Structure 1
Amino acid sequence: MNKWTVNEAPQDLRVLISGFQSWSEAELRPLTDVQAVPGQHWRVEQGHDPGFPPSGEAGVWRSHTVLALVRADGSGWVGSVGDATRTFAQWEARAGTEAVTVTCTLEGPDVPVTWEETGDVIATLEARAADLGVAMGARTPAPLRVWCSWYSYYRDVTLDAMLDNARLASEHGLDFDVFQLDDGFQTFLGDWEDPSAHFGGHARELPARLAELGFTAGLWLAPFLVQPQSRLFRDHPEWLLRGEDGQPLAFGNNWGGPYHALDTTHPGALDWIRELGRTVRGWGYTYLKIDFLYGATQPGVRHDPTVGRAEAYRMGLQAFRDGVGDDAFILACGAPLAQSIGLVDAMRTGPDVAPLWDEDSRRVWLGDATGPSARNALHTALSRWYQHAWYQPDPDVAICRRELSLLNATERDAIAGMLDVIGGLRASSDPISLLDEEGRALLRQCLTVSTPDRPVTLAASHGDAVTHFTRGTFNLTDRAEGGIPAHGYRSAQGKEQA
């Protein structure tokens, strides 16, 4: 364990943290605040690292890979690591009466660790993030503009719905590059070649038909997860990550209940993952969104006990990359962030957007801000602005429709502002038929690719996140602040919707 003492009054400092995976919270908070931890263990498993969960204590903040303490003048301290290929770097800042204790514990092989005082936390954090990206061979291709089926059709998506939306996008001249089929085309997790009863075809039929309309085909997979109802679970229980009792480890709570994960140290499982990549590439998919990847990192009993959790994850991800080929575009989601550098082209850097601003019952009462909502997506994605040096950031979809949505114009505009500030991928999921002229205009704005922006300060914020950028300022609170309405965004030119 690496340990330092910061001789500074804790009440005078802010802490900037980044959680374990895509959906885990990233925040900018007073150091003396309480870091929330979900009240239900399955939510810790699904949204955080159960091996190093949030503290749940006042003045104790846990972060992965990087950590920063910020003074009121923007100076402070930055912690970082030089490699994350096989190692989890687990940072903790613990406020005392008159000083702060900072530790960094490495789970995996030793890697270089730095803790440095700086006059400019923003610039130093950006520089260390860039160093890590270079060291791990970060892939940062040009951003793509993607239509995704999930946020409109969810698991009820059909082949006809995909094609209907692609035709309408073409007719309206909407500049999408990729039409991506999300969850719902398959029977069970693990049985990816078996079409669901409602899909109305097979996923392999889609790429050629989308190509006729001028679009690249994308496909969603959760390659490391296995549902207990699947043939894969029945035929190859020896490939599954196990608990201490020797039984397949069950965790999470989606798709009607818990699920299992492949043991990515097992040669048979790795061969299967590799072949899955080859199969979907053979169907014609060159854009793959692979989701719930954290499953490979769950604490458990592995086939090869000498392999740590970070390395096991990397082995599984490498197998999938080998299967789809080096020229395929991989967007990772629900994925350990730094451990994916060099193998994925893009990364979801926050929770799912949803057609509602906030979900208090989950965030406030259950202590879990990893769930879908516009507020959660902005809160975390904005606080990870520096990660564009690791991959193309994916802050998730714009919501431009007024129907089937609880978002108002101010909130829709804030999401559009997030996309502009973060840069990276541009995505939408609105049924094209529901967009009127105003909705299509907002969508065209959201599809305009931009370069990543940077904060102007970490010493002030409208909400518990990074909100002040050179191009504009966000207000994530429930009241007007700084002349910006609640849940709003004001560009540097003063434009805002109220």
Structure 2
Amino acid sequence: MYEIESRASSGSARARLEFKAFTGTFDLYAGEIVVFAGASAGALKTVKKGASERLDTPGAWERAGDDGGSTLDLFKQEKWGRVLFRVEARTSGTLVLRVGLVWESEDEPPPVEALVPLRVPPGGIWPGRESVKNWRAYVHGWQCWSPTGALKAERPGNQLLLCFLPRRLKSMLWNPTTPVSSKRGKFESEWFTALADTCARDSVVVGFTGVTQASSRMSVRLGRKPEQSKLEAIALFDGKRPTPGEVMWSEPLAFVPGDLTSANFERYAEMLALEQGVSEVRRTPAGWCSWYNYFNKVTADDVLENLEMLNGAQCKKGSDPFLHDGELAKIGIDVVQIDDGYSPAIGDWLETNESFSAGMETVAQKIAAKGKIPGIWVAPFTVTRKSRIFKEHKDWVQRDRKGKPVLAGFNPVWKGRFYGLDLTNPEVLDWLREVFGTLARYGYRFFKLDFMAGGFLEGKRHDSTLTRAEAGRRALAAIRESVGKDAYIMAAGGPVLLGIGILDSQRVSSDVAHYWREAYQPFLRERVSLGVRNSLRNTLPRAFLSGRVFDGDPDCLMARSTGTKLTGTERRTLASVIAVFGGSFMLSDDLSKWGDEGFSLVAKSLPHAHGLPICPDLWEREIPRFLVSKMNDPAGEYRLALAINWSAKRRDMRVSLRELGLEDGRWHACEFWSGQYLREVTEDVSLPGIEPHGCALLRFTKASESARLIGSNINLSQGAAELVAFERTAAGVSLSLRSPIKCEAVLTLSLPGAAEIKVTAVSGTTVRVEKLMTAIYKVKFDIDGEERLEVSKSGAS
């Protein structure tokens, strides 16, 4: 027997693998607990479409070399060559598994369907446990529109999917090579999954950390009993043939045990980023997008009118006072992005329709002349029959085995079907370079890529030596090369993890809309179609990826109070989620429709603070209620937390520190929308009367003997965006704050040891002080731009 162990850091269980050479099976441990027993690794060859068989055979394995304990290499001799198995011990109690093969026979290598680094047999998941009643499976969707979440073992495999979607439209929402089952507990999860036992209070994340070679998935079966439960980690190679004499490795697979916190999800994200060369996530600038107000009816005049308003010009359509004194120019929108609607057909990206008759270069120049970053929407892998590209280059379109174009989906906005391009065709890559190189020369520096799934359809490819993942990465690399390293690239509507290391921002949610939900959505258990409700329900379970792997995009904020069905409460909830999520930030309104309420909401949202979010109740509820982000201001670290009332009725909520993932201790709690200081919290906090579809937005600051800002009404971040400087002095505190617009600032300060305080504004503005309780003070003053306050303490509290 061979053994390898990853020593644990504080708060995490050590991971260990024991390999039985005679049988070729292994057990995976978290500490002394067996997580997976009797597991194996192997390879599958394609026999015919939809059918495969094992390349490896049962038998004894041998060790190949010894590097001193951090890597375990084994091999098994086959008639045709060797099967390889490698395990690496990583830091923080994690292991990485790989399986590979070397074809050494004179016969032609077979098409490889998949390499399987982990195959857990029935009964091998947490062996010895009596019931699956409290087991959960995290199911991750193929693309941003695909629902994601943690499900109970008794749920059907298609719980998160549209049950009535025709098979031919499957590729719009999920991986066309992934089977979908309605059977109880039969789940398919893209790239990674996680299992939890809420009774034993442990969990494990199992996921591929490589995305460059294979479109990988996790197949989970949670039966009615533990003896019927099994798991497979499958790296799909789409029938690619190995090169004789060379090692063909699977993508690396991480084994990350943990508890019911999000810690092992976070570690997995860090391992994913490391494997793809992401040392630091590049944040995208805040922007304005035309889509959710103008849709594909946008005109150049619409874009330029909003551009003028963003630069302080008076609105021509209304007389809202905030538009008269240039305050819109102060809110900090850097990008002006034109969405769908400028091209004559989907695919003809270098041509324009009559709404943009002057051409896209002219629009880009006008945006840049106003000091903004020109942005443009492109669906680079998608075409419609009406496009010149489809008509003149039919051989570029992905086709099935019979030579017919493969349907990528149906879009009523485009009035019909659309198709995907074959990304293995070198002419398609040349065309992509031409399109994006030209747009870059026009001056566009922000690119929103959409409907990306069209490039990953099933079918007969021009170059069968490339997997779909390899072809997709190569196409994205060609786009990046064409636009340059300094350009920003955001993607949506395609494989969520495939662009890591190439893209800057990745959408994690389905589309928002100007309404909360459609009436049919709850009855059909439908989590795919448009609406703020569905969008937020995808954002929360994917939160741990943002800031660690890419800049997560939760879609756009709509602040307008006209031309919308969203209530003011629902708009505040959307803005709050975007604030706590701390990823990218985009607005999508006709700015003339804002009014004072809309402008105030946006002004409190900007500048946009970036954070590291988690969903702390992911395992506790199938529809999570909480989102928490780690934030920093100049005085130190704090937590920004959100509690959502999904109900259509007003609801009292009570939230414990444990539910939010906060460590034990004393925490100051301030709620943004009510402006209330909720006292020092040691166990839980009461949140009475949260409105239907409303939320509480809370700052939690660890109580200490040091002075701290513990609440603010200037920005939704309550510190990270508006607090510029915070210095503890012999007399008290000196702090500087910034607001993009003129407003009344209300700060809550914790000043231990101060019986009374005196606050002076350097500008001379009047400052009003209210003592809330011992050492807790509320400070009010008018701010316009930047202000510095000098706080002096007197007496002993």
TM-score by length of 2: 0.60
Name which one, 1 or 2, has greater alpha-carbon Rg. Answer: 2
Residue 370 of structure 2 aligns to which amino acid in structure 1? L
Range with bigger deviation, 148-157 or 105-114: 105-114
More relative contact order, 1 or 2 (CA 8 Å, 6+ apart): 1
Question: Once the 2 structures are TM-superposed, how far is the Cα of residue 43 of structure 1 from its aligned partner?
Answer: 4.3
Question: Once the 2 structures are TM-superposed, how far is the Cα of residue 70 of structure 1 from its aligned partner?
Answer: 2.4
* 1:3 aligned onto 2:209: no
Any conservation in 2 of the 1:3–1:103 contact (CA below 8 Å)? yes
Query: Which consecutive residues of structure 1, in runs of 5 or more, have no partner in the other structure?
Result: none
Question: Once the 2 structures are TM-superposed, how far is the Cα of residue 212 of structure 1 from its aligned partner?
Answer: 2.3
Question: Once the 2 structures are TM-superposed, how far is the Cα of residue 10 of structure 1 from its aligned partner?
Answer: 2.1
Distance in 2, Cα, partners of 1:368 & 1:283:
41
**CA distances 1:386-443 after superposition (whole Å, capped 9, x unpaired):** 1122211110111211111111122111111111121111111011100111110101
Counterpart pick for 1:473 among 643, 651, 668: 643
User: What residue in structure 1 maps to residue 493 of structure 2?
Assistant: 334
Question: Once the 2 structures are TM-superposed, how far is the Cα of residue 460 of structure 1 from its aligned partner?
Answer: 2.6
* 1:37 aligned onto 2:161: yes
Q: Kindly report which structure 2 residues correspond to 1:67-466, keeping only aligned pairs within 5 A, or say none.
A: 67-72=193-198, 74-99=201-226, 100-108=229-237, 110-138=250-278, 140-171=281-312, 172-173=328-329, 174-254=331-411, 255-361=414-520, 364-365=523-524, 368-388=526-546, 389-450=548-609, 451-461=611-621, 464-465=623-624
Distance 1:395 1:42, change over 3 A: farther
Question: Once the 2 structures are TM-superposed, how far is the Cα of residue 360 of structure 1 from its aligned partner?
Answer: 4.2
Distance in 2, Cα, partners of 1:53 & 1:363:
25
Residue 373 of structure 1 aligns to which amino acid in structure 2? G
Distance 1:362 1:42, change over 3 A: farther
Distance in 2, Cα, partners of 1:363 & 1:19:
20
1:310 counterpart SS class? helix
Question: Once the 2 structures are TM-superposed, how far is the Cα of residue 323 of structure 1 from its aligned partner?
Answer: 1.4
Any conservation in 2 of the 1:37–1:44 contact (CA below 8 Å)? no
Range with bigger deviation, 114-123 or 187-196: 114-123
Distance in 2, Cα, partners of 1:16 & 1:421:
22
**CA distances 1:307-354 after superposition (whole Å, capped 9, x unpaired):** 111112112111211211222110011121111101101011111111
* 1:49 aligned onto 2:175: yes
Question: Once the 2 structures are TM-superposed, how far is the Cα of residue 93 of structure 1 from its aligned partner?
Answer: 2.2
Residue 124 of structure 1 aligns to which amino acid in structure 2? N
1:274 counterpart SS class? helix
Report % sequence identity.
28
Residue 3 of structure 1 aligns to which amino acid in structure 2? R
Any conservation in 2 of the 1:187–1:195 contact (CA below 8 Å)? yes
1:339 counterpart SS class? coil
Distance 1:362 1:205, change over 3 A: farther
Question: Once the 2 structures are TM-superposed, how far is the Cα of residue 3 of structure 1 from its aligned partner?
Answer: 2.2
Residue 696 of structure 2 aligns to which amino acid in structure 1? R
2:612 counterpart SS class? coil
Question: Once the 2 structures are TM-superposed, how far is the Cα of residue 47 of structure 1 from its aligned partner?
Answer: 1.3
Distance in 1, Cα, partners of 2:470 & 2:431:
18
Distance 1:363 1:457, change over 3 A: closer
Residue 12 of structure 1 aligns to which amino acid in structure 2? N
1:340 counterpart SS class? coil
* 1:490 aligned onto 2:696: yes
Question: Once the 2 structures are TM-superposed, how far is the Cα of residue 257 of structure 1 from its aligned partner?
Answer: 1.3
Residue 299 of structure 2 aligns to which amino acid in structure 1? T
Range with bigger deviation, 433-442 or 64-73: 64-73
Any conservation in 1 of the 2:290–2:303 contact (CA below 8 Å)? yes
Any conservation in 2 of the 1:129–1:386 contact (CA below 8 Å)? yes
User: What residue in structure 2 maps to residue 22 of structure 1?
Assistant: 144
Range with bigger deviation, 37-46 or 141-150: 37-46
Any conservation in 2 of the 1:31–1:61 contact (CA below 8 Å)? no
Question: Once the 2 structures are TM-superposed, how far is the Cα of residue 92 of structure 1 from its aligned partner?
Answer: 2.4
Instruction: Tell me the C-alpha RMSD between the 2 structures.
Output: 2.1
Distance in 1, Cα, partners of 2:286 & 2:308:
16
1:78 counterpart SS class? strand
Distance 1:96 1:425, change over 3 A: same
Range with bigger deviation, 482-491 or 132-141: 482-491
Question: Once the 2 structures are TM-superposed, how far is the Cα of residue 122 of structure 1 from its aligned partner?
Answer: 0.9
Distance in 2, Cα, partners of 1:327 & 1:122:
33
Distance 1:175 1:82, change over 3 A: same
Distance in 2, Cα, partners of 1:258 & 1:232:
15
Question: Once the 2 structures are TM-superposed, how far is the Cα of residue 371 of structure 1 from its aligned partner?
Answer: 2.1
Any conservation in 2 of the 1:422–1:452 contact (CA below 8 Å)? yes
2:520 counterpart SS class? helix
Any conservation in 1 of the 2:503–2:550 contact (CA below 8 Å)? yes
Distance 1:492 1:42, change over 3 A: farther
Distance in 1, Cα, partners of 2:475 & 2:495:
12
**CA distances 1:357-390 after superposition (whole Å, capped 9, x unpaired):** 112436743x652222101110001110111222
Aligned residues: 494
TM-score by length of 1: 0.94
Query: Which consecutive residues of structure 2, in runs of 5 or more, have no partner in the other structure?
Result: 1-115, 238-248, 313-327, 629-638, 654-687, 701-710, 714-797
**Higher fraction of helix:** 1
Question: Once the 2 structures are TM-superposed, how far is the Cα of residue 286 of structure 1 from its aligned partner?
Answer: 0.7
Distance 1:152 1:59, change over 3 A: same
Residue 378 of structure 1 aligns to which amino acid in structure 2? L
Distance 1:220 1:6, change over 3 A: same
1:273 counterpart SS class? helix
Any conservation in 1 of the 2:645–2:694 contact (CA below 8 Å)? yes
Distance 1:36 1:392, change over 3 A: closer
Distance 1:457 1:252, change over 3 A: same
Distance in 2, Cα, partners of 1:292 & 1:29:
27
Distance in 2, Cα, partners of 1:318 & 1:57:
39
**CA distances 1:183-217 after superposition (whole Å, capped 9, x unpaired):** 00000112112211233432111121112222110
1:117 counterpart SS class? strand
Range with bigger deviation, 133-142 or 203-212: 133-142
User: What residue in structure 2 maps to residue 62 of structure 1?
Assistant: 188
Distance in 1, Cα, partners of 2:597 & 2:438:
41
Residue 395 of structure 2 aligns to which amino acid in structure 1? E
Question: Once the 2 structures are TM-superposed, how far is the Cα of residue 481 of structure 1 from its aligned partner?
Answer: 6.3
